[in-house]
Amino acid sequence: MDFIAKNVAELAPSMTLSITSQAKALKKQGVDVLSFGAGEPDFNTPNFIVQAAIKALNDGQTRYTESAGLLELREAIAAKFLIDNGLQYEPSQISVNCGAKHSCYNAILAVVNPGEEVIIPAPYWTSYPEMVKLAGGVPVVVETKAENGWKMTPEEFENSISPMTKMVIINSPGNPTGSVYTKEELEKIAEIAVGEGIVILSDEIYEKLVYGENKHVSIASLGRDVYDQTITINGFSKAYAMTGWRLGYTAAPKKIAEAIDNLQSHTTSNPTTFAQYGAIAALQGDQQIVADMRDEFDVRRQYMLSRLSGIKNVKVVEPQGAFYFLVNVEPIGIKSVNFCEKLLSKQKVAAVPGVAFGAEYTVRFSYATGLDVINAGMDRFEEFCHQH
């Protein structure tokens, strides 16, 4: 007897998470693994945030909050949206969820009916298509081109629309490509989405990690009509090194926000109460810590770019944001899962196969790790590429 529900049985486990745990397990056995797997800052959560959560626990903040999260936190998020993104949201339009992954899933479940299509530009974050399928929706993957900076062009977007299209997912800065859409590019996407009545899920979790001249723009800030059909998602994991706290949030037009709140009230209820107090401190504290972490990521990005550019048989597009390199290894001619298995077994370097992001013959390296690891890891990767 098969007890597993069909849609869950068909899920592939998250490769981003499984590679990271494989690398951790090997390290525990004493193997000298250099891990580029985790999409997780290697910094500790800043101390003032930790202290705020400890204080909350000591003060007895151990009960349920409103299902959408503490009003004080939603007010702090609303203030952040206004200052950082020029977006006006009422606290009632905001829902705080158990990580931005949960925010994405809530948003998709709240909007997508079975059989409806969701446009996902590839390379994409590994969980989007699986979430859409869990909701009974149909992922429509749009291949983007390296020469366009891995960004979906307006033509590619238009050509992928059908009468069943309900949503498009925009992730800028993007995982795994590091691409950042410009204001002009977002304006064109917004215009098409508005014209066709397509909901935009804008995943802005890497907002604070943009480099060089690039600027992060929230697509919902580009006009009233696009605001009215956009769900903006952000969170604490990447900007504040708070991955384990499991805190993300959605901001949406009233009706969608109510639907998300309803859904959450029957599934998880509020995210962990004392963690929410840490999040208030994160938003209200000195934001220099965010800039300092970003600067450190940028140093690593530039170093890694110089190393990767010197390796025979691989190609990279300079990432403009987030903390990943998507490396094209096509000339080596080994499929990405096999490539990463060999890289791990021979060179003890952990990276994520591009197939997890809908990009065969690529490999993702996260540079959310120290320069010493990057240096040694690039030596080993270079040796591997030269042997193949």
- Out of ligand GLU, ligand PMP, none, what residue 100 binds, judged by CB under 5 to 8 A for its kind, is ligand PMP
Considering the complex, state which of residue 16 and residue 67 has its C-beta at the smaller distance from ligand PMP.
Answer: 16
Considering the complex, state which of residue 18 and residue 302 has its C-beta at the smaller distance from ligand GLU.
Answer: 18
| Pair of tokens at residue 114 | 């079975």
Nearest to 97 by CA among 309, 223, 251: 251
Looking up tokens 């013959």 gives: 361
Site for ligand GLU, residues 111 to 150, rule: CB under 6 A: 126-127
- Out of ligand GLU, ligand PMP, none, what residue 14 binds, judged by CB under 5 to 8 A for its kind, is ligand GLU
- Contact positions toward ligand PMP, by CB under 6 A? 39, 99-101, 104, 125, 171, 175, 203, 205, 235, 237, 243, 248
Instruction: Please identify which residue in 17, 141, 373, 376 interacts with ligand GLU, judged by CB under 6 A.
Output: 17
- 332 CB burial (10 A radius; 0-12, 13-18, 19+): middle
Helices 71-85, 273-284: axis angle to 10 degrees equals 30
Whether residue 250 contacts residue 113, with contact meaning beta carbons closer than 8 Å, is answered with no
Site for ligand GLU, residues 172 to 211, rule: CB under 6 A: 175
H-helix or E-strand containing 200? strand 199-203
Considering the complex, state which of residue 227 and residue 297 has its C-beta at the smaller distance from ligand GLU.
Answer: 297
The size of the chain, in residues, is 388
Considering the complex, state which of residue 67 and residue 243 has its C-beta at the smaller distance from ligand PMP.
Answer: 243
Please state, in angstroms and rounded to a whole number, the distance separating the CA atoms of residues 128 and 111: 14
Q: What is the DSSP letter of 38?
A: -
Part of the chain binding ligand GLU (CB under 6 A), chosen from 36-44, 128-136, 212-220, 340-348: 36-44
Considering the complex, state which of residue 39 and residue 377 has its C-beta at the smaller distance from ligand PMP.
Answer: 39
Whether residue 370 contacts residue 42, with contact meaning beta carbons closer than 8 Å, is answered with yes
Instruction: Please identify which residue in 23, 33, 36, 39 interacts with ligand GLU, judged by CB under 6 A.
Output: 39
Query: What is the total count of residues that contact ligand GLU (CB under 6 A)?
Result: 10
Considering the complex, state which of residue 55 and residue 294 has its C-beta at the smaller distance from ligand PMP.
Answer: 294
Could you list the beta-strand ranges (E) of the chain: 34-35, 94-97, 117-122, 138-143, 165-171, 199-203, 230-235, 248-251, 315-316, 324-328, 349-350, 352-353, 362-366
User: Cβ 16 to ligand PMP, closest distance in Å?
Assistant: 7
User: Cβ 369 to ligand PMP, closest distance in Å?
Assistant: 16
User: Cβ 243 to ligand PMP, closest distance in Å?
Assistant: 5
User: If binding is defined by CB under 6 A, does position 79 make contact with ligand GLU?
Assistant: no
Part of the chain binding ligand GLU (CB under 6 A), chosen from 12-20, 42-50, 75-83, 271-279: 12-20
Considering the complex, state which of residue 189 and residue 385 has its C-beta at the smaller distance from ligand PMP.
Answer: 189
User: If binding is defined by CB under 6 A, does position 14 make contact with ligand GLU?
Assistant: yes
Looking up tokens 């209820």 gives: 269
- SS3 state at 370: coil
Taking CA atoms, 352 is separated from 37, 93, 298, in Å, by 6, 36, 21
CA-based torsion, 314, 365, 239, 170: positive or negative: positive
Residues that bind ligand GLU (CB under 6 A): 14, 16-17, 38-40, 101, 126-127, 175
